Structure 1
């Protein structure tokens, strides 16, 4: 599914819809239900995702909204249900970085190709092992120029709640995420209530392409 219907203005409008960092005001009901990111039962003391949940409200209230491209995700996210699962994404953490989505897609493809390989580069090896294992978390791993030289891109584990997707399933590959303002880059999708109409249309069309 092409992303040609998505423009940088969609991201700008998503940021406006959500409000700038530090200026977001959520209702009690939204904080209790819609926006709340619940820690799943399997996320124990040995799972590094626990740090995301400890910082979830700081992330929602103060994180930056940027584009992300999917690398891989738990297969449950592609099925209808009420699942919350991790995924791997690539992104530029700088809200000032105007990134070409085709370049972001190419980088995501190169990262995925690392799965089941043993690169000599220690950074790429770390990502390759995490993608292959599927239970190892990564937060803000800077991608080397071999993956992308045009932008400062990072790979990270993104925790996805299906209630925050327009149609309840992971159907598109590009979506806005909220990331921490500084490392480690905790990452969750921007809830679809704050998406633009064009972005929602892209998501639904992707489900049937």
Structure 2
């Protein structure tokens, strides 16, 4: 009798970066059109205002100030960002694969059009982050502030926004498949129709219901006299 084939376990978390056993110190400054492979980048690195076509592979950036910098053609693979400041940084159309952001400042970060595959963001501040037309596959954001974040036309599958403050976030025209929203604050989210098919916990029904009523233009008023 033929043995029934075992079903493959469903993937629900991003893959962790494939990190090397050790890393070499990074150069003193970042330059365009370069590839950094297996390097440890500390707070003393000099980062110019504009960097083009930088590739980071199997690197760890810790305490690095990238705030307000503009990166064109950035590619990151198997890389860790820890205690870094990326507030106001412009990373449009960047590509991230197996990348983690831990305890980082991402307030107002520009990720429009970016590709985020197996990316894990946790314990960060990412209020007003711009993810317009970005693409996420197995993107997990945990315990992170995302107030006013813009997910307009964001395309995501197998993603999770867990334990996040999504107050006032915009999901208009987003395409989301199998998205987890457990423990997240959903007050005043816009584009609530785009959250159809997502998964929430029981205590999130009331705030999300309010957002759906607002999207339908339904008002709660006193009865007419």
User: Scaled by the length of structure 2, what TM-score is found?
Assistant: 0.20
Rg larger in structure: 2
User: Scaled by the length of structure 1, what TM-score is found?
Assistant: 0.21
Name the one with the larger strand percent. Answer: 2
Higher RCO, Cα 8 Å, sep 6+: 1
Name the one with the larger helix percent. Answer: 1
